[in-house]
Chain A
Amino acid sequence: MTNLPGMEYIIEITYLIATALFILALKWLSSPTTARRGVFAGELGMLLAIAGTLLHRGIVEYKWIFIALVLGTIIGVPLGKVAMTAVPQRTALSHAFGALCVTLVGTAEFYLRTPNVPRFMMGVLSMEVILGSLTFTGSLMAAGKLQEILRQRPITYKGQNFVNLGLLALAIVVAGMLVAHPEETQLFPLIVVIPLLFGVMMIVPIGGADMPTVISLLNSYAGLSAAAMGFVLDSKLLIIAGALDGASGLILSVNMSKAMNRSFSNVLFGAFGQEQTAAGAVRQARPVRSATPEEAAAILAAANKVVIVPGYGMAVAQAQHKVRELYDALTKRGVDVKFGIHPVAGRMPGHMNVLLAEADIPYDKLLDMDEINGEFPQADVALVIGANDVTNPAARTDPNSPIYGMPILDVDKARTVMVIKRSMAAGFAGIDNPLYYLDKTLMLFGDAKSFVGSIVRELGGGHE
């Protein structure tokens, strides 16, 4: 603060305003009517903070900063324009980028400051780097699985939890040694490399159905590592932004875990896949009732109230636009159509809502589990499209089921249940669904998109 004391204050003021704008951005996101204002507030805050930082008198060279800003924008624009179905993997990828930034800055800070790193500083720096590197590889793995570059099936082996926990413990021990002896710089690479490895191993046993929880958890880690970076750089703005992101990720992870009736540790160390092979083995061929598109259309047309339950299968089949045509055709006939959305439907929190909103279905028809469950007993038809485990009544009734206790959508309380499904093969989790054998259930076998299309044609709607 020697030559330009005024400038320092201006920079700090831009950070202060940016912080307020960030909090407002999240506050305005609470409702769809104000949400876009929230994005604007966030953008303004970001712009102010970056402009303020560029005024910093300590900056001696701008060339690489500007090249990097331009390059980042060039990469960022296509990432902002991906298809809505690709949003989960895009989100995972952005967690990886965020974590990469934090890890690189943390690494550089260590080598710049060493050997004069105070103990506390070394502690938060270790936390920053450990969380950052495990989030980096973990998120890349998650993105790879979601993009189906990697196999989605969980891979499990004996002693997996021991190996994973051991790796994490090892990284923490090394970090502890560094805190005790910050001058032992040769140890530092270990707290980058071990968590990088841990990040990979952590996602290996994770299956697609666990992705909503895992993405939320990685979101939280990314936030916490940024907050740790804020401690290292003594930046209140970064501490606050990191804490907000960390809190958001944590809330979402807790929501997702609750929605699957599982604890965090169970998601990360439970390797869900194993239990279900056992559950799948006891399945037997039982008779089901099936129906044609004509029959389904007749029942739907006669209904007063229909609840549609979409799942990941709808996204895979790209059926959301056909579902909108069905919604239009039924609404035109005076049928009350609503959507019941389970918190873990899809591959990330809120995934179904975004897909249905993209298909122009009004958001006030999209109800979450707690809102819709009271309405099933009055519904004439519950139409399940590409969802399985989240509708499985065994979660309520069968203590031996692996998903017992998981909150589900009570579709079996509707007068008639229709399930669009490719075949009788068990769902992702490999658990049999007693819903399919109920007398009131009609199985509609076929591809979700073409089946819904056929129903729409029968109803005399559609644009074909």
Chain B
Amino acid sequence: MKMDLLTSLYVFMLAAFIGFEVIRRVSPLLHTPLMSLTNALDAIAVVGAILLAGEYHAHGATLAKVLGTIAIVAATSNIVGGFLITDRMLKMFKASGPKKP
């Protein structure tokens, strides 16, 4: 348990550093799509909700199922809506002129 926790903290710290470095490079032009994309990625929390709704629980099964199901609905709508709108926005960004490379 103690080691797991420590590993998780390392993972969090490294991911935060990677996040800062990668996202710093995103042009201000794309800050709106950035927000909708990270929002969709964040909805990976659906994984936890799926396990909560689907796994066997000796007690509190109804609570787990109800809350888990609502949580899946909320996260899935973010996944579907988030990816859809990000792609729609990015499709609109076009460079000027029919430049031939």
Q: Is the CB of A49 within 8 A of B44?
A: yes
Tell me, in angstroms, the Cα distance from A102 to B82 when the chains sit together. 17
Residues 444-459 of chain A, each 1 if its beta carbon lies under 8 Å from chain B, else 0 = 0000000000000000
Main secondary structure of the interface of A (DSSP, over half): helix
Q: Is the CB of A39 within 8 A of B44?
A: no
A241 within 8 A of B: yes
Residues 376-401 of chain A, each 1 if its beta carbon lies under 8 Å from chain B, else 0 = 00000000000000000000000000
A12 within 8 A of B: no
Cβ < 8 Å to B, chain A residues 45-63: 45-46, 49-50, 53-54, 56, 58-62
Q: Which residue of B lies closest to A247 (CB)?
A: B19
Cβ < 8 Å to A, chain B residues 35-64: 35-57, 59-60, 63-64
Q: Using a Cβ–Cβ cut-off of 8 Å, how many residues does chain A contribute to the interface with B?
A: 112
Q: Which residue of B lies closest to A358 (CB)?
A: B92
Q: Is the CB of B26 within 8 A of A29?
A: yes
Q: Is the CB of B32 within 8 A of A351?
A: yes
Residues 69-91 of chain B, each 1 if its beta carbon lies under 8 Å from chain A, else 0 = 11111111111111111111111
B100 within 8 A of A: no
Q: Is the CB of B54 within 8 A of A80?
A: no
Q: Is the CB of B28 within 8 A of A42?
A: no
Instruction: Pick the contact of B34: A111, A248, A362 (CB < 8 A).
Output: A248
- Chain B residues contacting A97 (CB-CB under 8 Å) are 43, 74-75, 77-78
- Chain A residues contacting B53 (CB-CB under 8 Å) are 61, 64-65, 68
Interface size of B as a range: 35 or more
Tell me, in angstroms, the Cα distance from A227 to B37 when the chains sit together. 17
Instruction: Pick the contact of B19: A50, A231, A243, A366 (CB < 8 A).
Output: A243
- Chain A residues contacting B82 (CB-CB under 8 Å) are 76, 80, 94
Residues 19-39 of chain A, each 1 if its beta carbon lies under 8 Å from chain B, else 0 = 000110111011111011011
Given contacts A26-B23, A76-B77, A350-B34, contact A107 B67 (CB under 8 A): yes
- Chain A residues contacting B27 (CB-CB under 8 Å) are 30-32, 368
Q: Which residue of B lies closest to A72 (CB)?
A: B76
Q: Is the CB of A98 within 8 A of B42?
A: yes
Q: Is the CB of A362 within 8 A of B97?
A: yes
Tell me, in angstroms, the Cα distance from A13 to B62 when the chains sit together. 31
Q: Is the CB of B96 within 8 A of A25?
A: no
A242 within 8 A of B: yes
Q: Is the CB of A75 within 8 A of B24?
A: no
CB of A142 to closest CB in B, whole Å: 13
CB of B55 to closest CB in A, whole Å: 5
A158 within 8 A of B: no
- Chain A residues contacting B77 (CB-CB under 8 Å) are 72-73, 75-76, 79, 94, 97
CB of B39 to closest CB in A, whole Å: 5
Q: Which residue of B lies closest to A250 (CB)?
A: B20
11 A-B Cβ contacts within 8 A? A26-B34, A30-B26, A46-B41, A64-B65, A79-B85, A81-B85, A97-B74, A101-B43, A233-B51, A349-B35, A353-B30
Q: Could you tell me which B residues sit within 8 Å of A by CB distance?
A: 1, 4-5, 8, 11-12, 15-16, 18-20, 22-57, 59-60, 63-65, 67-97
Given contacts A35-B93, A244-B38, 11 further A-B contacts (CB under 8 A): A26-B19, A39-B86, A46-B83, A56-B50, A107-B67, A112-B57, A236-B8, A238-B45, A239-B8, A248-B19, A357-B92
